[in-house]
Chain A
């Protein structure tokens, strides 16, 4: 069988590749890239919605016990949430009354650019999402990406005129300065575990970390506000031979079911 033997083929392809990289560097490919994205984006939005819809219909349990314990945990969480909701209402009323008394002027909110998720990572090497707003909407690299008003899901890593790419918190290369809602208000770094897990590391060993503790951003990094919810602790690893302990987190939202996100611009 005659396989591609042409000696000039690699040469031509290398030349084309180098020209492409060079033209991209000069920005000459932007109209072509913009046109192609315009062509594919509606399809990607629909595909993403479909995947979220399908993903909502199944969840895997390895055995019957696991299913029942997950159900019991849901019931517990629900009753806990009802109590928390009642407390929240009381606090809301108190807050309203106090604000009125001291003539509190609400701070201007951080501008939020809303965007549709039009795609996900193109390979298994990264956990990213592609959104349909970019530099034209005021989005810049390193700005936080949130859902539901205050749950952090990632940071912008790449922008173009019409799209942006956000690295999710479960990506291997994601690092976020965070703090734990425990007695010590422990500080650490939330890192992604290649899409398989999210961990908070560099927590001093003498500080108490409990399952269920909430984790928020500490605000100790450039462009990241304090208080964005990241998730809660589901396991703690405190080994005697290691200088720090680490906590495994469950993100506050399902990172595989994102359709609309907000980007905190103007930070």
Chain B
């Protein structure tokens, strides 16, 4: 029963993130629609609930994206999972504290990797199929917008929530350390 409830909760969360992402894409004005809300929320989950269920949620979220995209099937899932695994690895091995810089840097790397994976794969597929010329300056401008805006939004969200959420605020760790060692 507990497991079924957990699955239902995760399904509701996946649908909620999917709809929220679509709402932003459809209703937000330029350049705010470049915020990759889906990646931002998944990254948030990787920071807060870094368990296997988060990656399975990303898998199913990617599948929902596949239903409405012209990209080859599997590309959304692949890009999302590769970038989330990379961020998780960074958080696990390199950036092990939760300062605002680390959150910004993780989001920056993750979003850039997500978009790069996507573009590289599309170039490979399209180059084989149509041998097209890509307009690189515009592609990179859009990518910079997406990566920059998503990272800044993550930082803003982090700063707001860390006021209310002890787990995200590294100052409590410093206070605790000072109490023990000094």
Contact check, B70 vs A13: say whether CB atoms are below 8 A apart: no
Q: Once bound together, how far apart are the Cα atoms of A9 and B59, in whole Å? A: 12
- For residue A140, CB closer than 8 A to chain B, the reply is no
- For residue A205, CB closer than 8 A to chain B, the reply is no
Contact check, A119 vs B22: say whether CB atoms are below 8 A apart: yes
Q: Are A172 and B139 CB-contacts (below 8 A) given A3-B88, A47-B22, A121-B25?
A: yes
- For residue B73, CB closer than 8 A to chain A, the reply is yes
Q: Mark out the residues of chain B between 114 and 152 whose CB falls within 8 Å of any chain A CB in the assembled complex.
A: 115, 118-119, 122, 126, 130, 132, 134-135, 138-139, 141-142, 145-146
Give the residues in chain A near B46, CB-CB below 8 Å. Answer: 3-4
Q: Mark out the residues of chain B between 65 and 113 whose CB falls within 8 Å of any chain A CB in the assembled complex.
A: 65, 67-71, 73-74, 76-78, 81, 85, 88, 91-92, 96, 98
Contact check, A121 vs B69: say whether CB atoms are below 8 A apart: yes
- For residue A1, CB closer than 8 A to chain B, the reply is yes
Closest A residue to B34 using CB positions: A124
| Nearest CB of chain B from residue A55's CB, rounded to whole Å | 8
- Pick out which of these stretches binds chain A: B2-10, B50-58, B158-166: B50-58
- For residue A54, CB closer than 8 A to chain B, the reply is yes
Contact check, B71 vs A126: say whether CB atoms are below 8 A apart: yes
B: contact size bracket: 35 or more
Give the residues in chain B near A181, CB-CB below 8 Å. Answer: none
Contact check, A37 vs B67: say whether CB atoms are below 8 A apart: yes
Q: Mark out the residues of chain B between 21 and 45 whose CB falls within 8 Å of any chain A CB in the assembled complex.
A: 22-23, 25-27, 29, 33-34, 36
- Number of residues in A with C-beta < 8 Å to the partner? 49
- For residue A20, CB closer than 8 A to chain B, the reply is yes
- For residue A196, CB closer than 8 A to chain B, the reply is yes
Q: Specify the main secondary structure of chain B where it touches its partner.
A: helix
A82-124: CB near B (< 8 Å → 1, else 0) gives 0000000000000000000000000000000000000111111
- For residue B17, CB closer than 8 A to chain A, the reply is no
Closest A residue to B98 using CB positions: A1
Give the residues in chain A near B81, CB-CB below 8 Å. Answer: 13, 17
Q: Please tell me which one of the listed residues B50, B71, B138 contacts residue A2 in the complex, with CB atoms under 8 A apart.
A: B50
Q: Are A193 and B135 CB-contacts (below 8 A) given A54-B27, A119-B68, A125-B118?
A: yes
Contact check, B52 vs A130: say whether CB atoms are below 8 A apart: no
Q: Once bound together, how far apart are the Cα atoms of A126 and B85, in whole Å? A: 24
Q: Once bound together, how far apart are the Cα atoms of A157 and B78, in whole Å? A: 21
Q: Once bound together, how far apart are the Cα atoms of A13 and B61, in whole Å? A: 13
Contact check, B67 vs A50: say whether CB atoms are below 8 A apart: no
- For residue B19, CB closer than 8 A to chain A, the reply is yes
| Nearest CB of chain A from residue B67's CB, rounded to whole Å | 6
Contact check, B135 vs A3: say whether CB atoms are below 8 A apart: no
- For residue A5, CB closer than 8 A to chain B, the reply is yes
A18-62: CB near B (< 8 Å → 1, else 0) gives 001100100000000100110010011001101100100010100
Q: Could you list 29 A-B pairs, sorted by A, with CB under 8 Å?
A: A2-B50, A3-B88, A4-B55, A13-B55, A13-B59, A17-B74, A17-B81, A20-B63, A20-B77, A36-B67, A43-B19, A44-B22, A47-B23, A60-B29, A119-B22, A119-B68, A121-B69, A122-B69, A123-B36, A123-B65, A123-B69, A124-B33, A124-B142, A125-B119, A125-B142, A126-B70, A158-B70, A165-B69, A194-B142
